[in-house]
């Protein structure tokens, strides 16, 4: 009888552990640390509002910097590719090219209040790593586009844009960013 109870409890524990491993494929993601920050902020007496709609920023930039075969930026891209500290991020949204020969990237981060400079510094480090480290050695045009990437901070928002290798122009991207972040 004791073995049956132990087996039942072990099975139940395993089921609970497996349920906790589910994924999320939404284009908007929030880290668990950011969720707790957002929850504690929401419960405080101070009202917070989003100054910008991230989807609108992405749409404005993508109008002049199309990402033909895009995939959504997810937690793995943010923490493992870009090496951004998720504790500094309240929420984010973005698109990156899924075509190895294309450099297109648009990432919008709403930083935890007071952490925008830290996020911007980490984005600068990511820009340096992809534009000078030979990561794109076989794609010189992709490396050149990454070298000229734009990283713009406005309040708690930080936006990084890398032009596509299909002819996007940073002059148009700069105008789109200025307009979207008014």
Range of the domain at 48: 2-180
Q: What per-residue confidence (pLDDT) applies to 6?
A: 55
Task: Return the residue matching tokens 């951004």.
Answer: 84
Give the integer Cα–Cα distance in Å for 162 and 121. Answer: 16
pLDDT tens, residue by residue, 129-166: 888 765 545 667 778 788 899 999 999 999 999 999 88
Give the integer Cα–Cα distance in Å for 108 and 119. Answer: 11
Q: What per-residue confidence (pLDDT) applies to 4?
A: 52
Residues sharing a CB contact under 8 Å with residue 89, sequence separation 6 or more, in sequence order? 30, 31, 34, 78, 109, 110, 111, 112, 115, 119
**Number of domains composing the chain:** 1
Give the integer Cα–Cα distance in Å for 58 and 180. Answer: 9
pLDDT tens, residue by residue, 99-129: 888 889 999 999 999 999 999 999 999 999 8
Q: What is the CA radius of gyration of the chain?
A: 20
pLDDT tens, residue by residue, 18-60: 444 444 444 444 444 343 333 333 333 333 457 899 999 999 9
Three-class secondary structure of residue 72 per DSSP: strand
DSSP 104-139: -EEEEEEEPTT-HHHHHHHHHHHHHHHHHSSTTTT-
Q: What per-residue confidence (pLDDT) applies to 140?
A: 74
- Percent of residues, the chain, with pLDDT higher than 90: 55
Q: What is the pTM of this model?
A: 0.71
Give the integer Cα–Cα distance in Å for 32 and 155. Answer: 23
């Amino acid at each position: 009888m004791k073995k049956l109870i132990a087996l039942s409890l072990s099975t139940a524990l395993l089921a609970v552990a497996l349920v906790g491993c589910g994924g999320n494929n939404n284009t908007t993601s929030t880290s668990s640390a950011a969720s707790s920050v957002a929850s504690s902020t929401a419960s405080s007496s101070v009202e917070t509002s989003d100054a910008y709609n991230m989807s609108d920023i992405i749409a404005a930039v993508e109008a002049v910097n199309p990402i033909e075969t895009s995939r959504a930026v997810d937690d793995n891209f943010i923490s493992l590719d870009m090496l951004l500290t998720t504790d500094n991020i309240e929420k984010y949204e973005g698109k990156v090219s899924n075509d190895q020969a294309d450099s297109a990237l648009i990432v919008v981060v709403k930083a935890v209040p007071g952490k925008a400079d830290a996020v911007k510094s980490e984005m600068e480090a990511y820009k340096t790593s992809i534009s000078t480290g030979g990561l794109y050695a076989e794609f010189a045009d992709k490396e050149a586009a990454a070298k000229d990437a734009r990283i713009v901070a406005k309040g708690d928002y930080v936006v990084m844009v890398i032009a596509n290798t299909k002819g996007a122009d940073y002059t148009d991207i700069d105008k789109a960013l200025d307009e979207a972040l008014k």
